Amino acid sequence: MTDPLLPGDPATLGSVRLLGRLGAGGMGRVYLGRTTGGRLVAVKTVHAHLAAEPHFRERFRREAAAARAVTGAHTAAVLDADPASPVPWLATAYLPGVTLRRAVAAAGPLDARVVRSLGAALAEALISVHGAGLVHRDLKPSNVLVTAEGPRVIDFGIARALGDDGLTAAGDVVGTPGFIAPEQITGDSPVTVAADVFALGAVLAFAATGRNPFGDGTVAILLYRAVHEEPDLADVPLEIRGLVADCLNKAPGRRPSVGAVLERTADPRAPLWWREEPLRSLVRGEEEDRPREHTAALPTKEVTATTAVAPAPRPVRDAERARRVERRRELTRRGVLVAGATGLTGLLGVSVVRGWGNPGPRGTAKGAQLTLKKGSAKPGALRWTLTADSGDIDALLLSGGTVLLHGTLSLGGDGYVRACAASDGARRWERAATLGTPGVWGAADGRLVAPDVGLPIVDVGSGKDRATADPARSQPNRWVAVADGAAISGYEDQEETRELEAVDLRTGKRRWAVELGRTQPPAVLGRTLLLAAELGWQVRGVDARSAGTLWTYEGLKDGDGQSLTTAALPDAGNFAVLTTEGELHLVRARGGERVAVAADRYGVTPGATAVGAADGAGLLVTAGRLHGFDPAGAKPLWPSRPTLGVETSWRRGTGGARGPVSAGGLVLHWSKADTLEAVDLRSGEARWARRLTGIAKVPPVVTGGTVHVASGDICTALRLADGTPLRTWSLPGIIDELASDASGWYGRVGTSEVRAYNPVDG
């Protein structure tokens, strides 16, 4: 737990007001702070004895300037610094999460595919660091943060500018024994980017085994082993052992480059492992444990900052949380971390982590402890609030006048799904469910499709079963999609038999079941499913009504790449297929013919790429850019624009897949972390942009002519036509989910409550 400010601690640094101390390390102390504009930051100060050394201040100044240029998706942005201050300091972005060391200690070693995905993220982070002219020099498990948005590399506090050896005293060994490279210890050769590759290999070995690759011992023993002995990689999975061994080569010149590491770890269908249990609960546990002794100025449900300094061990009231996490972990072991990030799905395809064939608890839940408080009917007023008295609320879904909630009943208890009337919050029905946030649940044709929390197909209005899965199935389905009035899922049994099954949403009867090779989540257009093989070039059109193959697309057969992500382009009657090589293919839905291939290749970013359509335009997000293209000819419609990415700008739709937010000929997206932009789909120009207080976490929602947008603990209503603010609400914590309909808007505040507000006038 963090401490209140102690005697002698500064109250402010520059324009940052310090709220409390987070910890201390070899270089100084770390504080939680708030800027004048209200943004939470982590502030690292330098110890007085270091600040008194002119050579240290000069190095700090140069490195702070370089660190501010590090802007990668997997790093913690440096926001400000003052090397000339009596207490030199540096402020970085506030990141809620847990360190990799704590995550592995709590959840156990990561499996091979997750370690590979972690390696790709760390390689991308190091590319950003090195691109700014820095060597990190202290990459280790406690400097890797697992957040709700993925892994982040933190703490450039001892980084050194490339080629700059003149400001460190001879004999200095800077870094963490067990993770620093031999050349950092012996000084026999310059410290280059190869030292970070060595540390990367050591971090991956730890993630895969839960142990340091050079074992435990005194500092002297660990330094000696790093220089003279080989690491213990016996328990590192074979799939990644070769890469880890290459990174840990004693000779810097024989280690792979960071780019080569990225090539060897890149996976276009990498799992969003940080969003699966039990890691997700660990991250959320940090949010729930936000200390309050010194945070009177903060929202009551703020999340905990984890920075370069690991938090002091909590005298675990955390024992209760540990039991809860272990309970979730046991349930999660029945599932798998699926291949395919949600950002790579088509508009109606969806990846899931729990088996439809393992429905879990049935019948009525034994009463989630939720308190309903009625509000006012005035425009813009709070209409009702549902607060979790015990357990939590971890997901919200809005469907046809019904608000669906998922959560846990009590500490260590089972899960539930409750349906409430959107008008007044009154309970309509409640069902027992498995634990784990339903990241892919959705509603279609008045039916709830939620296999990821163990439910059969359920009528949204009554909560009654409309289809019962085959009880013989015990393995998770690879994905679920909705097409032609049916829920279609891809299964894999213990003998690795691949099967697709369609269940009619109206009758609850199975339409068909066929064996097919393993496929990516499909794109859907009318009755046609576009199914692309997970490995290889094969892309086919399948009839959702009969499961018959309608056509096979041959356009990728002779190419170097394979399908990365797909989408339906309904206005043109085409499918879009984006390949791992960045080629955009348009395929006729009716016959499978090639319509066009984009003249230029896109710079794809696995895990952060999606294709979709809005108001007659094709849209593509990749590498931090929003592209518009002609859905009939693949030509660019306008120059690309910077975007914050898929997770914060594209909403989950039917079945859980993501699609762009659009209305009135505009596509709405976060161009920056605090700026919402409305782009004209015809011209590509910004019709308006609105800078808001707080940081983007969830996509905006549109109903009629009003846009609701959440940034931190603030929700703002904007006029769609011109972005004019209509009203602002301040909630008691971070808004984790947002929805709206004609009756108003709905926000989930952390895991504690859901609030419903009336629409505003104007």
Q: What residue numbers does the annotated binding site for ATP cover?
A: 44
CA dihedral 265, 269, 274, 276 (to 10 degrees): -140
Q: How far apart are CA 330 and CA 516, in angstroms?
A: 31
Map tokens 């810097």 to a residue. Answer: 252
Q: What phi and psi values does residue 264 have, to the nearest 5 degrees?
A: -80, -15
Q: How far apart are CA 158 and CA 616, in angstroms?
A: 51
Q: How far apart are CA 534 and CA 267, in angstroms?
A: 11
DSSP H helices, 248-338, are 258-265, 279-288, 318-332
Say which residues have a Cβ less than 8 Å from residue 286's Cβ, sequence separation at least 6.
Answer: 96, 97, 98, 303, 304, 306
N residues, the chain? 762
Give whole-number Cα distances, 80 to 13, 29, 38, in Å. Answer: 11, 16, 15
Give whole-number Cα distances, 9 to 29, 306, 537, in Å. Answer: 10, 19, 61
Which H, E and C letters describe 615-651, residue by residue?
CCEEEEEECCEEEEECCCCCCEEEEEEECCCHHHHCE
Q: How far apart are CA 538 and CA 548, in angstroms?
A: 16
Say which residues have a Cβ less than 8 Å from residue 673's Cβ, sequence separation at least 6.
Answer: 644, 695, 696
- Tokens representing 176 are 């963490």
Say which residues have a Cβ less than 8 Å from residue 430's Cβ, sequence separation at least 6.
Answer: 364, 365, 367, 368, 416, 417, 418, 419, 463
Positive or negative, the CA dihedral 335, 339, 341, 346 is negative
* Residue in 138, 196, 392, 736 annotated catalytic: 138
Q: How far apart are CA 477 and CA 688, in angstroms?
A: 42
For residue 501, give the 3-state DSSP assignment: strand
Known binding-site residues equal: 44
Active site residue 741: no
Q: How far apart are CA 204 and CA 237, in angstroms?
A: 11
Map tokens 């010149």 to a residue. Answer: 253
Q: Which residue in 33, 11, 36, 12 sits closest to 91, CA to CA?
A: 33
Q: Which residue in 317, 302, 272, 286 sits closest to 102, CA to CA?
A: 286
**Residues labelled catalytic:** 138
